[in-house]
């Protein structure tokens, strides 16, 4: 029972030293590697973030892991993430191998139920994403995309010829390859009503 509450001064001293050293080392490595290290754009970014936290926790609490092992673990994970990131930059096709493509879930207010079922997304999930972006009606949303990191992107007011940010979504190209405009008219013409031409004064 004493081990549960107190395992000796040596264990406490090791926790203080290991925690301080690994914390400072991790902060320094993250500073040197840049903000991209903690970005969560892709699936492997999440893996690196979780693995860094696990390595830090083990280095602080586990007496079987030396501080040097934890430091090597930090360097290895950050280095691997850097290498994969550089491969993404120089070889765009490599992105498709490591990460799933973005998925189109809604087009011009219409839910794509097959894509939603395949990716285990419910209508409530899409509605929540629309509300979070400030839209109270799905019919007013042009596109909802499930991103590779699991987040939702909601796009409104698309204009024909100005959709380059959606070119990497296969379903989007398929839905609009015939040149259909991915958006709705602003309604100004309908609100204005039919235009009238003035008649010359001599006809009155």
Q: What is the DSSP letter of 154?
A: E
Looking up tokens 């493509």 gives: 101
What digits encode the pLDDT tens for the residues 144-163?
999 888 889 999 887 777 88
Query: Do the Cβ atoms of 116 and 91 come closer than 8 Å?
Result: no
**What H or E segment, with its residue span, contains residue 107?**
strand 103-107
pLDDT above 80 (res 83): yes
What digits encode the pLDDT tens for the residues 107-142?
888 899 999 999 999 999 999 999 999 988 998 898
Between residues 181 and 67, the one the model is more confident about: 67
Cα Rg, the chain, nearest whole Å? 27
> Which string of b and e fits 43-70 if b means at least 16 CB within 10 Å?
ebbeebbebbeebbebbbeeeebebeeb
Instruction: Give this prediction's pTM.
Output: 0.65
103-183 fold = CRO Repressor (3.30.240)
What does the pLDDT read at residue 163? 81
Q: Give the domain ranges of the chain.
A: 2-96, 103-183
């Amino acid at each position: 029972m004493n081990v549960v509450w107190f395992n000796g001064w040596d264990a406490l001293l090791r926790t203080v030293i290991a925690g301080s050293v690994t914390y400072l080392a991790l902060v320094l490595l993250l500073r040197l590697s840049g903000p991209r290290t903690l970005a969560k754009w892709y699936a492997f970014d999440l893996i690196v973030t979780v693995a860094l936290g696990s390595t830090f926790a083990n280095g602080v609490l586990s007496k079987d892991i030396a501080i040097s092992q934890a430091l090597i673990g930090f360097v290895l994970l950050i280095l691997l993430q850097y290498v994969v990131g550089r491969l993404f930059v120089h070889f765009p096709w490599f992105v498709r191998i490591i990460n799933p493509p973005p998925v189109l879930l809604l087009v011009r207010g219409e839910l794509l139920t097959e894509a939603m079922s395949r990716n285990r997304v419910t209508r409530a999930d899409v509605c929540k994403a629309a509300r979070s972006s400030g839209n109270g009606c799905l019919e007013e949303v042009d596109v909802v995309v499930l991103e590779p990191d699991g987040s939702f992107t909601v796009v409104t007011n698309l204009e024909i010829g100005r959709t380059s940010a959606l070119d990497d979504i296969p379903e989007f190209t398929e839905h609009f390859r015939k040149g259909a405009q991915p958006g709705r008219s602003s309604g100004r013409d309908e609100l204005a009503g039919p235009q009238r031409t003035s008649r010359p004064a001599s006809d009155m």
